Amino acid sequence: MKTSRILLIASCLIASACSSEKETEKQPESYQVVNPIVKNTPYTSEYVAEIQSVRYVEVRSKIKGFIEKNYVDEGQTVGKGQLLFSLSFMEHEKELQKANADYKAAIADLKASEVELANVRRLVEKNIVSNTELEVLDAKINALKAKVEEAQANKEQVALHLAFSQIKAPYDGVINRIPHKVGSLIEEGDMLTSISDNSAIFAYFNLSEVDYLNYISNNEEEMKIVSLRLANNELYPHKGKIEMIESEFDRQTGNIAFRARFPNSEGMLKHGANGEIIINKELKNALIIPQKSTFEIQEKLYVFVVDKDNTLKQRNITPKMRFPDYYAVESGLTKEDKIIFEGVENLKDGEKIQPVIIDLAQAMSQNKHD
pLDDT of residue 207: 95
Over the stretch 27-84, which tens digit does the pLDDT of each residue have? 889 999 999 999 988 888 999 999 999 999 999 998 888 899 999 999 999 999 999 9
Helices (H), the chain: 2-26, 89-125, 131-164, 209-218, 221-224, 360-369
Helices (H) and strands (E) in the chain, counts: 6, 19
pLDDT in tens, 80-98: 999 999 988 656 667 767 8
**273, 267 in Cβ contact below 8 A?**
no
CB 169 within 8 A of CB 84: yes
| End residue of a domain, out of 135, 155, 186 | 186
CATH number reported for the structural domain that contains residue 210 in this entry: 2.40.30.170
Residue-averaged pLDDT of the chain: 85
Q: Is the dihedral of CA 23, 26, 27, 29 positive or negative?
A: positive
Residue 78 located in a structural domain: yes
Asked whether residue 327 falls in the same domain as residue 312, the answer is yes
* Dist. CA 196–CA 56, nearest whole Å: 5
Identify the band that residue 1 occupies on the pLDDT scale cut at 50, 70 and 90: very low
Least confident of 173-182, 214-223, 273-282, 317-326: 214-223
Burial of 167 per CB tally in 10 Å (0-12, 13-18, 19+): buried
Number of domains in the chain: 3
The CATH number of residue 103's host domain is: 1.10.287.470
CB atoms within 10 A of CB 179: 11
Mapped onto helix, strand or coil, the DSSP state of residue 325 is coil
Do 211 and 275 share a domain, yes or no?
A: yes
- Residues 346, 311: Cα–Cα separation, whole Å: 14
CB atoms < 10 A from the CB of 260, how many? Answer: 24
User: Would you say 85 and 192 are in contact if contact means Cβ atoms under 8 Å apart?
Assistant: yes
- What does the pLDDT average to over 261-284? 92
Same domain, residue pair 79 and 142: yes
Which of 125, 156, 186 delimits the end of a domain?
Answer: 186
Domain stop point among 138, 158, 186: 186
Query: Could you tell me if 80 and 48 lie in one domain?
Result: no
Model pLDDT, residue 15: 53
Q: Which domain holds residue 303?
A: 28-41+285-369
Q: How far is CA 190 from CA 63, 93, 132, 195, 349, in A?
A: 9, 22, 56, 15, 76
Q: Which residues contact 167 (CB under 8 A, 6 or more apart)?
A: 59, 61, 83, 84, 85, 86, 87, 192
Q: Is 15 within the bounds of a domain?
A: no
The pTM (predicted TM-score) of the whole model is: 0.65
Asked whether the predicted pLDDT for residue 229 surpasses 90, the reply is yes
In a domain, 3, yes or no: no
